[in-house]
Structure 1
């Protein structure tokens, strides 16, 4: 099992309900976008180019995603770079407008997340493993790719392992109760 399969399977074990996955299609992109908005304000200009913390985060996450899977990483990089100009425009708004809009988007994203986990009847994955915060966007992208009919073998391996992990989680919670 590759590291990508392991991480997606661990994340998927908390996300087996279709309604939960659908809420994540809205919630996670909103959260990621809000983080870009919040971090696009911190930066400096070097040789006429504005370098921001948001660009730094895009680079760091892209390097991490490329270490897991070139195809998903490339798609994610395109998505992040496409969202960045709008995040930068929001970062250039008046302070109160930038902050309230960025935090508002963040909160709405998390509301969608927690609604999904209500359906799932499981806590979010990051509560057990902080890496889940980095894997979430990749999971949503993978789910979209799977829904489009691509990488079905990866999807099947991920789901098989996710069901095993979920059964182990459920067995532990029964023993604890």
Structure 2
């Protein structure tokens, strides 16, 4: 099993309910975008080029995603390339407008996430493993690619392993609740 499959399977074990996955299609992009907006305001000019914290986070994320999967990494690069200029526009607003938009989008994204986990009846994956925060956007991208009919073998391997892991989690929770 590749590292990509392992990480997607671990994340998917917390996201087997379709309603939860659907909420993640909205919640995770909102959260990622809000983080871009919040960090796009911090930066410095280097030879006429504005290097922002958001841009550094994007570069680090894309390098990480490319190390896991070239196709997904390139698609994430494209998504970030399209959304980063929008984040910069929000970052250039007045302090109050920037905060209201950035924090507001962040809060709405998390509310949507927690609604999804209500349906799932499982806590978010990052509560057990912080890497879930980085894998969440990749999971949403993978789910979108699967919905389009691509990479079905990867989807099947991921789901098989996720269901196995979920059964172990449920058995452990049952054992802990009834010693």
Q: How many residues are treated as equivalent by the alignment? A: 177
Partner residue, 2:155: 155
Partner residue, 2:62: 62
Residue 168 of structure 1 aligns to a residue in which SS? helix
Determine if the alignment matches structure 1 residue 81 to structure 2 residue 78. no
Deviation track 1:130-157 (CA, whole Å, cap 9, x = no partner) reads 0000000000000000000000000000
TM-score using structure 1 length: 0.99
Partner residue, 1:141: 141
Partner residue, 1:24: 24
Unaligned runs of 5+ in 2: none
**Hey, what's the Cα distance between the residues in 2 that align with 1:174 and 1:19?**
24
Deviation of the 1:3 alpha carbon: 0.2
**Hey, what's the Cα distance between the residues in 2 that align with 1:119 and 1:97?**
33
Deviation of the 1:45 alpha carbon: 1.2
Deviation of the 1:50 alpha carbon: 1.0
**Hey, what's the Cα distance between the residues in 2 that align with 1:19 and 1:169?**
20
Partner residue, 2:119: 119
Deviation of the 1:19 alpha carbon: 0.3
TM-score using structure 2 length: 0.98
Partner residue, 2:51: 51
Residue 25 of structure 1 aligns to a residue in which SS? helix
**Hey, what's the Cα distance between the residues in 2 that align with 1:58 and 1:77?**
8
